[in-house]
Amino acid sequence: MVRRLIGVVVVAYWSSVASAGYIFNGYSYEIIEFPESPYAYVSTYDINSHGQFCGNYRSPMTGESQAFLWDPIDGLIDIPTPTMGSVAQALNDRGEVVGAYYTDFPPDGPVGAAYVWDASNGLHELDTPGMSLPAATSINNSGLVVGLNLYKPWGEGSFYYDTSTGFVVPPSVDDPYNPLSINNHGVAGGQFYDGTTRTQPARWTLGGEHELLALPDVAWRGWVMDIADDGTAVGRYNSIGSNAVGYAVWLPDGTVVDLGLIHPYGASFITISPDGTVLYTDADLHPFLWTPETGPVSLIDDLFYWTSGAINADGTIVLSSRDDNEVFYLTPIPTPATIALICCAIPFAMRRGR
């Protein structure tokens, strides 16, 4: 039995490395195909520690979209929103999903609602007075949800909702700190909006501690898009003059790391895992991983245009293109050193089990 287990581990490692098709550096992968009708294009926005991920898939003809949760066992689950214009923006390890959906398109701008959904309790629409198009943008493992009002020039207002107790504070359309993400320690990241066209990246706590983050020298505005559990934040900025999109990392001590100008149209993405591994795409929409220790490391050398994705604390990654119905599901390949440890541990475990 021990020999058989060792053989399985070794064969799995080498077959992953030499598998046909794309070659990801340090990862094996499977392709998950979404229905081509009535929707064809898939976007992936978050993945939890159980390998569940969420996003939306949409029609190239009408633009209508459907929020979804994908589960490794149950497969594709459509979030039952009342309209066919929805997105699932984030989820936590409890399987709670948050996002937004449109309800109307009057002449003065779209109207919608923010929601929380899980398989046991169903859909719950959040009551956010004064916000025409609220969006729940993030949820942590304690069930704390953050969001803002999307239908403004740069996003305005804020709300903080606990899935167990309700709103932590009343929703505010005047709050200058607009959250886009919250980590498992209750630290939010987003933007400080001063009422002009300029926004500044920021992170803060619900207890009132606020920190404005420095922009790269080439930038005139920016915002935090995601935040790790140690406070490391990632986000976008616009460059002075050309207004091109760039990406930056803000370390816990406030140091800013400029990842460079990425794309003039902002079709790329950046995100960070709870443990601080950054996943982003460059100007050619090729994916990279980044940590303070390694710097940027290419994930795949083949030509493929990735426009959305996510990474969890285990290193599992989902990637998708906005013009495709496929999601690439990447799993880290055990290194030879890891395999050696497993092989050494199996006989020990067998002896203890006798």
56 located within any domain: yes
Q: What is the CA angle 324-330-333, rounded to 5?
A: 155
Distance between start and end Cα atoms, the chain: 13
Residue 245 half-sphere exposure toward CB, CA atoms < 13 A: 18
For the segment 239-284, what is each residue's pLDDT rounded down to a tens digit? Answer: 998 888 999 999 999 999 999 988 666 568 999 999 999 999 988 8
Rg (alpha carbons) of the chain, rounded to whole number = 21
Q: How far is CA 192 from CA 155, 166, 180, 241, 271, in A?
A: 10, 25, 11, 21, 19
For the segment 48-73, what is each residue's pLDDT rounded down to a tens digit? Answer: 999 999 999 888 777 789 999 999 99
Residue 17: domain span: 1-26+336-354
Higher pLDDT, residue 170 or 95: 95
For the segment 133-174, what is each residue's pLDDT rounded down to a tens digit? Answer: 999 999 999 999 999 998 765 567 899 999 999 999 889 988
235 located within any domain: no
Do the beta carbons of residue 190 and residue 149 sit within 8 Å? no
Question: What is the reported pLDDT for 264?
Answer: 62
Asked if pLDDT for residue 117 goes beyond 60, the answer is yes
Longest Cα–Cα distance of the chain, Å, equals 74
Same domain? 151 vs 265: yes
Asked whether the CA dihedral 37, 42, 47, 50 is positive or negative, the reply is positive
Q: For residues 144 and 164, give the distance between their C-alpha atoms in angstroms, rounded to a whole number.
A: 9
Concatenating the DSSP letter of every residue in 242-307 gives T--EEEEEE-TTS-EEEEEEEETT----EEE-TTS-EEEE-TT--EEEEETTTEEEESB-S-----
Structure tokens at 74: 């149950």
In CATH, what number is assigned to the domain containing residue 38? 2.120.10.30
Q: Which residue has the tokens 């999601």?
A: 327
Question: What is the reported pLDDT for 16?
Answer: 32
Which contiguous run of DSSP H or E holds residue 349?
helix 336-353
221 located within any domain: no
Same domain? 273 vs 328: yes
Question: What is the reported pLDDT for 14?
Answer: 28
Per-chain mean pLDDT for the chain: 85
Specify the pTM. 0.87
* Structural domain total, the chain: 2
Confidence class for position 38, pLDDT limits 50, 70, 90: low
Same domain? 91 vs 188: yes
195 located within any domain: yes
Percentage of the chain beyond pLDDT 90 is 63
110-119, 133-142, 305-314, 345-354: which range is least confident on average? 345-354
For the segment 222-232, what is each residue's pLDDT rounded down to a tens digit? Answer: 999 999 999 99
192 located within any domain: yes
Asked if pLDDT for residue 345 goes beyond 60, the answer is no
Which contiguous run of DSSP H or E holds residue 9?
helix 2-17
Backbone angles phi, psi at 241, to 5 degrees: 90, -75
Same domain? 7 vs 38: no
Same domain? 298 vs 155: yes
